[in-house]
Structure formats: C-alpha cells, structure tokens
Amino acid sequence: MDNNKNIQSILREELEKEIPSSQIELWPAMKASLAAGKRPLIHQGENMNTMKPRRISWAAISTLIVVALLALAFITPQGRSFAQSVLQFFTRAKQDRYPLQTWQMTPPVQSTSESPFKFSVQEAESLAGYDVLSPVDIPFGMSFLGASYDTQYHIVAQAFGSDAGYIELSLWQQPLEYYQPCGDISNYCDNMLGWNLVGASANLEIVQIGDLTGEYVEGTWSLTENGPVWDPTPYVKTLRWQTDQMIFELVGGIDLLDRDDLVALASSIR
Amino acid sequence: MDDRIAISRLKQGDLNGLEILVDRYQVQAVHIAYMIVYERALAEDVAQTAFVKVMEYIQQFDEERPFAPWFFRIVVNDALKIATRQKRSVSLEDQLDEPVARLAEWLMDPGLKPEQLIEQKETHENILKAIRSLLPEQRAVIVMRYYLDMSEVDMSAKLERPLSSIKWWLRDARKRLYDLMRTKAEGE
C-alpha cells in the first residue's frame, strides 16, 4: 500500500470515529425543508456569529424596510411599474421576447481573434488614467486572466477564471462621466456597461454592498434566430452598483458563485 | 441504481433521484467538509447545501460526466468559503506536540519510514489535528490529495488551477508544518 493510501486509510478511520457514518442521515431534514418550500439550512456564514448578540442600527432597520417594500413592490403589476422607476442601474424591457433585430442580421466582423484581456491591471490603469479596483480575494480555484481597456467607452474589464482561459468571473468599471445607456433593444450596442436592459420578467433584487445599494439579476439575453429572448438562467449572474464617480458590474458565470459571493466580492474591491 | 439514472430522475423533478445521491455521498461529503471547517454541525450544513445546489443546477449537469468529482468540488469550495470567512485558524504553537510534529514530518515527506509511523497510535489520533493546523486552502489540498486520493494532475483540473499552484500549496502546507515543528523543537 503506498503512503497516500495509508494516510487515506487513517483519515477515514479517524473521521469515522469523529463522525460515525451511522449518525449521518441528511435526507429527513432535507426532505422536510424541501417539502416546506425552504432552501435548507445555511446561507454560508449565516450561523457563524451566534455567540455575540448584534446591535441592529436604525440605519440597518431602515434599509431592511426599504428592501422589504421594494420586494413587495415587485409582486404586483403596479408595483413593478413603481419598482422600475426606482431601479438605478438596470432597465426592465417591456417584454421577454423580441422579433429578429436588424443588428442581428448584420453582425459586426471581428477584427481580431486576440483576447482583449491582454493587459495587467497596472497597464490597464495607465491606459485608462484612473484607479482600477480589484477584489481583495479572488475566489478559490480562479486566477486573474487579464484586463482589457475599451478606448471608446473608457471601460476597464478584468477577467478571472480557469487557466485554460475560460472566464468565470469578470469585473467591469467605467467613470460615470462616460456612462451612457444603450437604450432600446433595437439599437445595436457594443457598449458593454451601457447594455443594461433585462427581460420584463427578470427577477431583480436590491442588495446592500457596504454603504452602497446595488442591483442583482440572474439571466441573460439569448440571441436566437427568431430574435432576442430573455433567458432567466441562474448560470449568468450580474451585480451592478456605483460610487459617486464610477459604475461597476460583476458578472459571474459559474454555479460555484452565488449572489452573496458576488456581494462579498463587490464589498472587497480596493 | 447508478448515478446517471439518479441524475436523470432528478432532472425530471423526481426527488427520489436526489435521495439516492444523498444516501450515496452524504458520508464522504460530511467528512470532507469537516476536515475543512472542523465543526460537525457546519459540516453537515455544507453537505446539505451542496446537495441543494446539485438539485438547483442539475439541468446544466452533463450526465456523461462523472458526478462525484463535480459534487465534491462544490463541497470543498463551499466549505472553504465558510472556513475562510470564519478565519478559524488554530495556533500551531499551542497545538503542536511531539506526535503531531512527527506526523508533520511524515506529511512533508510521506516516503519517510511510513511503516513506523503508521503503527503508532499517536499518528492516528493526531492526523486530524495536524490537518486542522493548516490554512483552509492547504486543508482543501490535503483533503483532495489524501482523502479523495486525487492525483496532483486531477486536483489541478478540478480546482482549475495550474499544476504549479497545486504543487506550491502542497509544498507550502508541508513547509508550514515543518517550520512550526522546528520552532517547537528549538523551544524545548
């Protein structure tokens, strides 16, 4: 038996002593939670601060009330209309499905196959002329793949993901003075941060990022041969927020990151 | 019933498919999570949450791929997120007694007279303590290397990190134990 097998055998033995297999029975609790329509158990980190009772500030209570009202507002058609009026960063389209758009029939020719994520953060910063912010902790299993700079819209994007080059997370930022929404879906738009349209049925959530408010949505437009269709896939997650000078967008594309992960990442950028 | 049939059932909304997967993988899932978070209740929470994620994302899972590596990656990553947020690190200076130090030496170089160490009761008793003394990411690597018996190449693929990073983590984990062991030895 090789050494790894020896260690494995000892580990299994010790773990069995610590938590016997016969005592592990997850299904009854899971079944009960699923039957009750609850997502079982933790939202990671939730039950870690049970030792210290926390003082809830009035600011936090006010925020909770506002968030609750906004959540309520999304339930009714009138509420949705109201909610759209208070959305800051996304724009809700009038429908989820559109006919084939002119710009779909004449897709732009790619001038190069070279990845735009070819710069270091420092290089992107020097091209952009502003501070480029990055998450303090890159998610486990990912690495920084590179940064890009869009000279037309002054957008810096950073890509993170597997070393095979598959992008699993990207962070976009643009000075507010250059921000310009693309508008209606009929407009061709290569302004990546200006493209803020989501489907009529998109489930938008207001989230708190430190002292700032952000908006979170799962889904993306699927460009079918019959036209753009809003696909509420949880596989594409987008979080938008802004400071007094800059607009940011985090886009996660894998199932290992959830809303709270994106919020934590957004809170950590420096 | 093999995994593919269970997954296929789950994709059709049949919760019996999930029950089969839970029954098959719950022990490993809890044990893996425990080696990273070192708290039983949390480990069980991590395992349950991972199964719920399986249910949520099952439509995107390719049934031709093996289920276990995909699932255990979710468990390892979720446990890591919690361990990192907890910042529950153990001070090795307080924990590292002689048997742990010997075990640390073995982990640094598993080729070093394993038969002698394996026979010692202290080795068995201290192995979890030795792993607990590592940083969360290093624990994850040790778990995958030794518990899941993944090769460094497999680990690199699962964690989507270059092989050099995995090797660096393993080396760093061993070096950290070695340095602390020396500190302990010099203090005696």
**In the predicted structure, residue B136 carries a pLDDT above the cut 90:** no
Q: What is the pLDDT of residue A239?
A: 95
Residues of chain B with CATH 1.10.1740.10: 3-86
Q: Output A55 or A219, whichever has higher pLDDT.
A: A219
The closest of A163, A162, A133 to A147, measured between CA atoms, is A133
B146 with A25: Cβ contact below 8 A: no
Of A6, A14, A40, Cβ closest to residue B48: A40
pLDDT at B148: 80
The pLDDT of residue A39: 53
Higher pLDDT residue, A187 or A95?
A: A95
The predicted pLDDT at position A199 comes to 92
Containing H/E element for A197? Answer: strand A197-198
Instruction: Please work out, in degrees rounded to the nearest 5, the angle formed at the alpha carbon of residue A208 by the alpha carbons of A170 and A141.
Output: 35
Give the confidence band of A134 by pLDDT, cuts at 50, 70, 90: very high
Q: What is the pLDDT of residues B65-114, one digit of tens each?
A: 788 877 887 888 888 888 877 754 444 444 456 656 556 555 545 555 55
Pick the CATH number of B3-86 from 2.60.40.1190, 3.10.105.10, 1.10.1740.10, 3.40.190.10: 1.10.1740.10
Residue of A152, A182, A151, A148 whose CA lies nearest to A167: A148
Q: How far is it, in rounded angstroms, from Cα A225 to Cα A221?
A: 12
Question: Is the CB of residue B22 less than 8 Å away from at least one CB of chain A?
Answer: yes
Q: Where do runs of H (alpha helix) occur along B38-187? A: 40-57, 67-86, 92-95, 98-108, 114-118, 121-132, 136-142, 152-159, 163-187
Alpha-carbon gap: A17 to the closest alpha carbon of chain B (Å)? 10
Q: Which residues on B lie below 8 Å from A13 (Cβ)?
A: 124
Under the banding of pLDDT at 50, 70 and 90, the label for residue A14 is confident
The arithmetic mean of pLDDT across residues B161-171, rounded, is 48
Chain A residues whose beta carbon lies within 8 Å of the beta carbon of residue B135: none
- The one-character DSSP state at A91 is E
**What does the pLDDT average to over B132-148?**
77
The closest alpha carbon to A14, from B141, B97, B147, belongs to B147
Number of CB pairs, chain A paired with chain B, less than 8 A apart = 136
Find the range with the poorest average confidence among A31-35, B77-81, B113-117.
B113-117
User: What are the Cα distances from residue B22, in Å, to A33, B5, B27, B28, B29?
Assistant: 14, 14, 9, 10, 9
Search chain A and give the residue with CA nearest B107.
A7
What is the pLDDT, as a whole number, of residue A139? 78
- Residue A185 is predicted with a pLDDT of 83
pLDDT, tens only, A36-91: 765 544 433 333 222 223 333 434 444 444 444 444 444 455 555 544 546 789 99
- Cβ atoms of B158 and B144 within 8 Å: the answer is yes
Report the C-alpha gap between B58 and A27 in whole angstroms: 18
B160 touches chain A (CB under 8 A): yes
> In percent, how much of chain B has pLDDT > 90?
22
Which of B15, B40, B127 lies closest to A34 in CB terms?
A: B15
Quote the tokens at residue A10: 């000892």
What tokens does A184 get? 């209606």
Residue A193 has pLDDT above 80, yes or no: yes
Q: Where in the sequence of chain B do the CATH 1.20.140.160 domains occur?
A: 92-187
Q: Test B23 with A27 for CB contact under 8 angstroms.
A: yes
User: Inter-axis angle of helices B15-37 and A3-18, to 10 degrees?
Assistant: 100
Q: What is the pLDDT confidence band of residue A123, given thresholds at 50, 70 and 90?
A: very high
CA-nearest residue to B82 within chain A is A45
pLDDT tens, position by position, A137-171: 787 667 888 898 988 889 999 988 765 556 778 89
Residue whose structure tokens are 């960063």: A89
- Decide if B49 and A40 are in contact by the 8 Å CB cutoff: yes
Tell me, what's the pLDDT at A247?
96
* A25-29, A48-52, A236-240, B93-97: the lowest-pLDDT one: A48-52
Question: Chain B: residue nearest A29 by CA?
Answer: B48
Confidence of residue B41 (pLDDT cuts 50, 70, 90): very high
pLDDT on residue A98: 86
Mean pLDDT of chain B: 72
Q: Which of A182-186, A231-235, B148-152 has the lowest mean pLDDT?
A: B148-152
Higher-pLDDT residue of B93 and A201 is A201
Tokens 């158990």, located at residue: A41
Say which residue the tokens 């425990």 belong to: B34
Q: Which helix (H) or strand (E) holds A230?
A: strand A227-231
pLDDT of residue A48: 29
Paired residues of B165 in beta bridges: none
Q: B92-187: which CATH number, 3.40.50.1370, 3.90.600.10, 1.20.140.160, 1.10.3720.10?
A: 1.20.140.160
- pLDDT-derived band at B59 (thresholds 50, 70, 90) equals confident
User: Which residue out of B44, B58, B119, B152 would a mutagenesis test of the A interface target, given it has the greatest number of A Cβ atoms within 10 Å?
Assistant: B44
Please provide the size of chain B in residues.
188
Judge whether A118 and A148 are in contact, CB under 8 Å: yes
Name the residue facing B82 among A15, A24, A44 (closest C-beta).
A44
Cβ within 8 Å, pair A26-B30: yes
Q: Quick check: helix, strand or coil at residue B172?
A: helix
This prediction's pTM: 0.49
Both tokens of residue A35? Answer: 């039957």
% chain A with pLDDT above 90: 33
pLDDT of res. A127: 94
* CA–CA gap between residue B83 and residue B37 (Å, rounded): 5
Q: Check CB contact of A136 with chain B, cutoff 8 Å.
A: no
Residue ranges of A 217-246 with Cβ closer than 8 A to chain B: 234-235
Question: Is 70 exceeded by the pLDDT of residue B180?
Answer: no
* DSSP structural state of residue B90: -
Q: Is A130 exposed, middle or buried (0-12, 13-18, 19+ CB in 10 A)?
A: middle
Q: For residues B170 and B59, give the distance between their C-alpha atoms in angstroms, rounded to a whole number.
A: 35
Q: What is the reported pLDDT for B102?
A: 59
A19, A29, A255: residue with CB nearest B53? A255
Nearest to A222 by CA among A202, A248, A241, A250: A202
